Structure 1
Amino acid sequence: MAKPEIHTMEELSAAIGVSRPTLSRYFQDPSKVSKSSVERIRRGLEQVEYIPNFFATRMNRKKTGMIGVIIPYLNDLFFTRLLESIERAAMRAGYTVITQCSHSDPEIEARAAETFLSMNVDGAVVAPLGNRSDLKVYERLNARLPFVLMDSRPARLSGVDFVGTDHVQSTGLITEYLSRVGAPPVFLAMPRVNFNALEREMAYISKMEELGFEPTIIGIESLNGEGYFEAHGLAVLDDHFSKGNFIDASILCANDRVAIGALRAAARHRLEPGALHRGGLRIAGHDDYPLSEFMIPTLTTVAQNVQAIGQAAVDRLIEKLRVEKPHDNQAVQLMDGVLKVRDSA
């Protein structure tokens, strides 16, 4: 026999003979309801078909148990891994994650922030879109609720907690490695669409000068107008290889997705990157993108500790949620990168 369907808390209250306020307290926190009422409610719920409204049971709480997360891309496996790390850390702490994607659009990013404010989320973790972001959006979030930036940070935004990779250490690590095993590397940059792009470029310059080498940077301007990193790496090196440039160079790419495009360009020109092949061409990246170890050749890179970044961002946010009087000191936590030596360099 089918159970009767219940659609509202009022209907449920009448069906099982418990007051509406008692039901509300039960769905918020069963420990706030007497044992006899808890048992009565549970027996009643077994007799009906009822699913509590997720948002309705949270909107009247001082704390909703929800954390808002904004990421810039859905088609990037790096952010998929980062989001997974955040969700797992949040679930272990008893929070529900509500995710919004800015889709590389500052207006969507701003709207996502306003959505979180309207939903009364307890706090937010944001991977910023880049230099096209409206910094007032971050300032508004930071003024209204506990807020942590992750992955990349705007140079012009101060006083906001940040968790990410130490790009000076990580980029310096792979620059030094490439300089030791082959020619000092050329840096295949990308259009300055995010803060990490410029930070890694500056870290490369600093390490090259420290090692006594002249920095060489290519690929700052987009050649094809496409926003995808792989297409940028392909277009830049396809152009250079067709002119005979850098065919025996060490090339450090701004990230692994650019490096995947670079490997495609090498294959198109029948070049074989890596120490195992004739010639001096080496190609390396940064991030340890999930597909890096499945490329041909497998990609030498620097791994970001994605799991630790996600966990630390959630830990810091929860720490801020539990402080009654927020303090002004900014917390910055930077994770070291780890060199992953593979066939391409």
Structure 2
Amino acid sequence: MTSPAAEPASEVPSPPSSRTPVTAVPAPAGRRISGAIWAALAIVYVVWGSTYLGIRVVVETMPPFLSAGGRFVVAGLLLAAIIAWRQGIGALKVTPRQLGSAALVGVLLLLGGNGLVVLAETSIPSGLAALLIAVVPAWVVVLKALFGERPTLGGLAGVLMGLAGLAVLTLPGLTGAVHMGGVLLVVLATLMWSTGSFTSSRLPMPKNPFTASAYEMLAGGLACAALGLFRGEQHGLDLGEISTRSWVAWAYLVLFGSLIAFTAYAWLLQTAPLSLVATYAYVNPVVAVLLGALILGEALTLPIALGGAIVVLGVGLIVSTERRG
């Protein structure tokens, strides 16, 4: 498949601009990627790697979908307020088709991709969840192939390695060491997240990626909250019984995980090659596993270590092939 290297020289993460292109523009092979893109990637690399730990702490005393819904709605409202303050209320205006596209992507990314992970982390370690999610770039290659973009030999080999690693990572669930339902939920979440990421570049999204991010978070957050209510998570919920550390972790997820990192990710989806954006998936697990082991004392078993290494190598092969294409 092709591997454009985008360098929107005049586009930087802040402030939002209505001139931001809707989709990444392919650049000549070998063209240098802008510093703004690398800065946004760094935020996604580090902050999202730490969110797995934050989610695990939140669900200790908070219901999964209601906590996720509240997190994204609050973050979406904050981002919308910042946009209105910096750019004027007109910056939030979108067409019905753009609003529908942003809502669809938000539901895929945040209800399907993130919400299922939150639910899964009530039964599996945060490090394992992060390693399972590392297979996302492999699904992106598969989706591109389904839409007519032929994968390179390196990309195909990376996909096969990623799927092999995914199989090894499921062993703790098959042996009963980890709840298999949680493992399957994360695998489904990777499919939903990959679909949302892939779809976002092919729909009529709002031209301002920050506006798109705000509507995505609001739609995804409302969908998470609705599912939480449907599951009855509000029954027996006592805010006084929620621990202080769960509140702190929730606030961290709102500010850093949602408002800052998700916004950076949404900007990257519209300004950088998708294959490059997907590289966060093999950096996040390293951060997540280290934090889970150091702070929560999560065990690093042989299947998790071996499967994670295979997935990371496969993703690295995909990314290196994409960058050369």
Higher strand share: 1
Bigger Rg over Cα: 1
TM-score, structure 1 normalization: 0.27
TM-score, structure 2 normalization: 0.29
